[in-house]
A and B are shown apart, each in its own frame.
Chain A
Amino acid sequence: MEQLSGGDMLIRALHDEGVDLIFGYPGGAVLHIYDAIFRQDKIEHILVRHEQAATHAADGYARATGKPGVVLVTSGPGATNAITGIATAYMDSIPMVVISGQVESRLIGTDGFQETDMVGVSRPVVKHSFMVQDAADIPMIVKKAFYIATTGRPGPVVIDIPKDITDPKLKLPYEYPADIKMRSYTVPGKGHSGQIKKAVDALLGAKRPMIYAGGGVIQGEGAELLTKLTQKLGSPITNTLMGLGAYPASDKQFLGMLGMHGTYEANMAMHYCDVLLGIGVRFDDRVTNSDTSKFCPEATILHVDIDPASISKTVAADVPIVGSVTAVLEEMLECLEQSDQEVDSEALTTWWQQIEKWREKDSLGVTPHEDGRIKPQQVVQALHRITQGDAYVSSDVGQHQMFAAQYYGFDKPRRWINSGGLGTMGFGLPAAMGVQLAYRDAVSVCVTGEGSFQMNLQEFATCMQYNLPIKIICLNNQSLGMVRQWQDMQYGGRYSHSTYAESLPDFVKLAEAYGHVGIRIENLSDLDAKLEEAFALKDKLVFVDVRVDPEEHVYPMAIKGGAMKDMILSKTERT
């Protein structure tokens, strides 16, 4: 059997696991591993400029491809810098394996240089973690880590490796395990057939059905089956922020996103439906609003999820189904086919008439300014036109994120890449790097704000090094827009630390300083032409600094403490 050092074993095991790309940053505790990377050519390593960006880039790669993202960081600050990105992946159930260096075994617990208890620090934000105590265990631990990260409800897994374990002088026989069995970890597969039948009967008997689909449908590769089911049932459907793309936005049965900034028709249909199918969702507080007792008061709730702990966590399910979305959807479709009952088309017609009335409200309507000032929503609409709705769009967090979610209209899964659960500013650019590295020829766009962008702008350098022609669309309102919006609405317009117009950098010059292209757009009449100019520069990263109206708010907006039907629709109108 081949004899390898721990460092070589690790890289070989990653290769045997099918990894071809890792994101990382070197340091003392991982130098043996970096030397192993240098001496091989099967795995490409992307050198980021901050460990947080490594995790977000791996995360973006994972969201776009469905494959696990892989990160390599050193001990101490390298490891702690990765925590925000690990927590981001954890909240959104993204498969990721993070390898962190650790001080030598003999130094653990002595407050050694760059020592941090990574297993302890990361514990609340990982699906599982390992501390390698013997180099011989590396292949099995890597195998287990990938298995845990990618199966069931996916999530990040940390492997912490003390430096002496990767010592090149210590060589051991290497064999990668072909498969894995863990007595303490089982993955839910098929759902309970009786429950599935019950759910299908409820949907067929529904007078006002509604489907509420989330990120689980995308993670579980269930978008196609869900589309089939929705169309068979003729039911309206809404997607969560994480679920955008699980059902084509351009289809007439799609009511838009729901929740805090959901459309009027989606939130109204949720409130008044009589049967609700929640699939790959977790009834998050940004959906249900704060008081769950007012949530969908008339509905029988069917809840499908792979994680039993997500079911009846915040809202009690009448028909709980634990299983993978694909297995459950397949069985639901079969059940539907075999049933002698038809959907109640008369009731459905009435239901759709009601929904069309809600739609007429046009809650996402944009009235342009006449003086050339640009509304942020118009930028996203223009972006959709110019990219023909076919870009990978990553975003940061804030108003621009909501505008992108509301106005881009995602027709395919894995195209919308955003930090939904943790809401991590600084996510957008590194995530767009991960997307671009996964799909070199795709259009990778980052919709950001001048606030979020400054949280990871050092990645301009990484984009230059690896020639990543990302298009960054910055909705520059010269303030922390969402904070400012809340201050407008709840704090009498007292802008406590949310504005900084006088200290903003010249983003065009900044982009140029890193060797990229910068374009500024200040007038609505230039919007389309200059955006087209940016996208025509196919081989260049272009930073488009769009000066937008800072007064603009994101609407609709849920009224705190209300039901889903209670929304603020504009600065002057509420439901």
Chain B
Amino acid sequence: MRRIISLLMENEPGALSRVVGLFSQRSYNIDSLTVAPTEDNSLSRLTVVTSGDERKIEQITKHLNKIVDVVKLVDLSEGAHIERELMLIKVKAVGAQRAEIQRMADIFRAQIVDITPGAYSIQLTGTSEKLDAFIAAQAENSVLEVVRTGVCGIARGEKVLTL
């Protein structure tokens, strides 16, 4: 089962390594990981996508909560939530391909953010699934480079993760 765990932690040196260390130490998976400061600069928000059965997820959340730097934690996948990931993708764009890629970008609501005679760099935001679909839709051997931020997420409605 895929889970999105989001947490607030002290913006202290070593805090991130403690979280990452926990995952490797106890052989939990990290599918993606994002971390950045919040509006309160003493706090960082970290979002990790992981997978496992219910028991494993329970252990992961318990162990994360035990880390002294972790202030608060939520499993976003337990309720309605919005998840987003940003991707920059560079594809070969020559001849007829150029118009085709432009059309595809429109369909996916992607933006072409850089152009050279041979390539387009495209920016796309959405769920991980949507990003996967966009990559799959590219012509064979046309993808030159892919860079993705990993998932970040927020609960729907008035529910907030705050102190």
Q: Within 8 Å CB of A120, what residues of B? A: 17
- Shortest B50–chain A CB gap in Å is 16
Check if A497 is an interface residue, CB within 8 A of chain B.
no
* Residue with the highest number of chain A CB atoms closer than 10 Å, among B62, B63, B65: B62
Contact between chains at A119 and B14 (CB < 8 Å)? yes
Most buried by B among A128, A148, A184: A184
* Known contacts A131-B13, A183-B71, A184-B10; A308/B62 CB under 8 A: yes
Contact partners of A183 in chain B: CB under 8 A: 71, 163
Query: Hey, which chain B residues are within 8 Å of A185, CB to CB?
Result: 68
Interface membership of B66, Cβ < 8 A: yes
Which listed residue (B25, B66, B71) contacts A124, Cβ 8 A? B25
The contact of B63 among A128, A129, A131, A309, by CB within 8 Å, is A309
Residue B18 interfacial (CB < 8 Å): yes
> CB-defined interface of A95-120 with B at 8 Å, one 1/0 digit per residue?
00000000000000000000000011
Asked if B13 and A127 make an inter-chain contact with CB atoms under 8 angstroms apart, the answer reads: no
B48 within 8 A of A: no
B21 engages A123 (CB within 8 Å)? yes
A124 to B21, CA, bound (A): 7
Interface residue A81 (Cβ < 8 Å from any Cβ of B): no
Task: Give the Cβ gap from B4 to chain A, nearest Cβ, in Å.
Answer: 20
| Minimum CB–CB distance for B48 against chain A, Å | 17
B9 contacts A184, C-beta separation under 8 Å: yes
Q: Taking the complex as formed, is A307 at the interface, i.e. its CB lies under 8 A from any CB of chain B?
A: yes
Question: Is the CB–CB distance between A313 and B14 below 8 Å?
Answer: no
CA distance A183 to B25 in the complex (A): 25
Please tell me if B59 contacts chain A, counting CB pairs below 8 Å: yes
- Cβ contacts under 8 Å, B21 to chain A: 123-124
Q: Which of A299-332 contact B (CB under 8 A)?
A: 307-309, 312-313, 316
Residue of B nearest to A308 (CB): B62
Total contacting residues, chain B, CB less than 8 A = 20
Contact status A184-B62, CB under 8 Å: no
Residue of B nearest to A183 (CB): B71
A309 touches B14 (CB 8 A): no
In the complex, chain B residues whose CB is within 8 Å of the CB of A307: 66
Q: Which residues of B contact A316 (CB under 8 A)?
A: 55
* Contact A128 B55, CB 8 Å, known A123-B17, A123-B18: no
Tell me which of A119, A128, A131 contacts B68 (CB under 8 A): A128
The answer to whether A184 and B14 touch across the interface, beta carbons within 8 angstroms, is no
Q: Is B132 interfacial (CB 8 A cutoff)?
A: no
Confirm or deny: B31 has a beta carbon within 8 angstroms of a beta carbon on chain A: no
Q: Mark B107-118, 1 if CB is under 8 A from A, else 0.
A: 000000000000
Q: Which of B14, B25, B68 contacts A148 (CB 8 A)?
A: B68
Q: Residue among B66, B68, B69, B70 with the most chain A CB within 10 A?
A: B68
Chain B's nearest CB lies how many Å from the CB of A543? 39
Contact call B55/A184, Cβ cutoff below 8 A: no
Q: Complex Cα distance A312/B58, Å?
A: 9
A312 and B21 CA atoms in complex are apart in Å by 22
A185 (CB) vs chain B CBs: closest residue: B68
Q: Is the CB of B68 within 8 A of A127?
A: yes
- A124 contact set on B, CB distance < 8 A: 21, 25
Closest to B68 in A: A128
* A–B Cβ pairs within 8 angstroms, 6 of them: A123-B17, A131-B13, A131-B14, A183-B163, A184-B9, A184-B71
Residues of chain A whose beta carbon lies under 8 Å from any beta carbon of chain B: 119-120, 123-124, 127-129, 131, 148, 182-185, 307-309, 312-313, 316
Which A-B residue pairs are the 3 nearest by beta carbons?
A309-B62, A184-B71, A128-B68
Q: A184-B10, A309-B66 are in contact. List 14 more A-B contacts (CB 8 A).
A: A123-B17, A124-B21, A124-B25, A128-B68, A131-B14, A148-B68, A182-B68, A183-B163, A184-B9, A309-B59, A309-B62, A309-B63, A309-B65, A312-B58
